[in-house]
Structure 1
Amino acid sequence: MAGPLHVRAARPDDAVALAELHVRCWRETYAQGVPEPVYARMEEEAPARWARRLEDPDAGTTWVGTVRETGELAGFSRAEATGPGELRPLLLAGLYVLARWHGQGLGGALLEHAVGDAPAYLWVAEGNERAQRFYERAGFSLTGERRVEERFGGIADLRMVR
């Protein structure tokens, strides 16, 4: 990827920075739609969760977008292989970019690194129309399936597949 941003594979020593980035992206994306105790729990639990994910090669693949000049993390994507009977062989388990880096091509680059053009599925927040349009441009479509994530304050997610 040309320009001020670069995509690379996440490393175990990225765990703390990834945890902080994850919470920042959630705060930007969902703002007041998620109760503060959920963010507090995420801040407490995320560093250990990211450390486990990054140390286990079978837990999926994680990519980070970095600012070339500073090395600061600007976004991430994560894909996981699914089991037998799942809708698609890959789950895009997360893709977030800090708002100040929107429109720079980082989201597309992170998506490409995570799942390429493989058949995959994802869950996107019901009210996140920007993300839904992004995924539609990448060939994903809504299935009509909806789930509510009580552990995240009742956020409703919609399934998209390609």
Structure 2
Amino acid sequence: MPTRNAPIRPATVLDTAAVAAVHLQAWRETFGDRVPEEVYTDRAVRWPGEWEATLADPDGPATWLAERDGEAVGVAQAVATGAGKIRSLELKYLFVLAAEHGRRTGTHLLELAVGDAPCLLWVVEDSEEAIGFYRQHGFELDGARRPAVDGHLTEVRMLR
């Protein structure tokens, strides 16, 4: 029997805890011990307030929340970067819990967040699964790199 899609809807300020929790869990699943525990502890404290401010802002970017059986399993957000930038749209967040990999939740979140628009995103350079996923959706590495996660990881930029 085919797997049903995870329902996706716009997140609201009432979803703050769920969005922050799925963001942190996806980080832990993706980065594991490559990121020190104190970074995760710091994010567990900071992110609920940051997400609350973002989700409460009526002029803020749309944030999409995927849920399965009433539990948050993914989140995506894109922002307008402004005129004169390399792309006018940036995918800021796309995190899906490991249990959702292969279930098209990431694809559906990406489609809602950016559609088929020209876009940029940053991804951890050794995340081959993520880089492959974005390549399947028309993104290509452009050679730009930057430190991430308090300097513990390096991100590479992808463009479409």
Normalising by the smaller structure, the TM-score range is: over 0.9
In 1: Cα distance, 2:70 partner to 2:102 partner: 19
1:161 aligns with 2:159: yes
| Distance in 2 separating the partners of 1:57 and 1:158 | 31
After superposition, the C-alpha distances for 1:121-147 in whole angstroms (9 at most, x for unaligned) are 000001100000000000000000000
**Paired residue type of 1:49:** E
Match of 2:29 in 1: 28
Secondary structure at the counterpart of residue 8 of structure 2: strand
- Structure 1: runs of 5+ lacking an equivalent: none
Query: By how many angstroms is 1:150 displaced?
Result: 5.4
Q: How does 1:120-135 map to 2 (within 5 A)?
A: 120-135=119-134
Counterpart of 1:91? 90
Does the aligned pair in 1 maintain the 2:63–2:113 contact within 8 Å? yes
Per the alignment, residue 56 of structure 1 pairs with: 57
* 2:85 aligned partner, one-letter code: E
For residue 84 of structure 1, report the CA deviation from its aligned partner. 2.5
**Cα distance in 2, alignment partners of residues 124 and 59 from structure 1:** 22
After the TM superposition, which of the residue ranges 3-12 and 128-137 deviates more from structure 2?
3-12
Q: How many residues align?
A: 158
- SS of equivalent residue, structure 2 residue 106: helix
> Gaps spanning 5+ residues in structure 2: where?
none
Aligned partner of residue 80 in structure 1, secondary structure: strand
Over 3 Å counting, the alpha-carbon distance change for 1:4 and 1:135 in structure 2 is closer
Give the aligned partner of residue 76 of structure 1: 75
Shift of residue 11, structure 1, vs aligned partner: 1.1
CA deviation after TM superposition for structure 1 residue 29, in Å? 0.3
Cα shift at 1:83: 1.9
Q: What is the aligned-residue identity percentage?
A: 43
Residues in 2 aligned to 1:158 and 1:27: alpha-carbon distance in whole angstroms: 20
1:6 maps to amino acid:
P
C-alpha RMSD of the superposition = 1.2
- SS of 2:7's equivalent? strand
Q: Does 1:107 align with 2:106?
A: yes
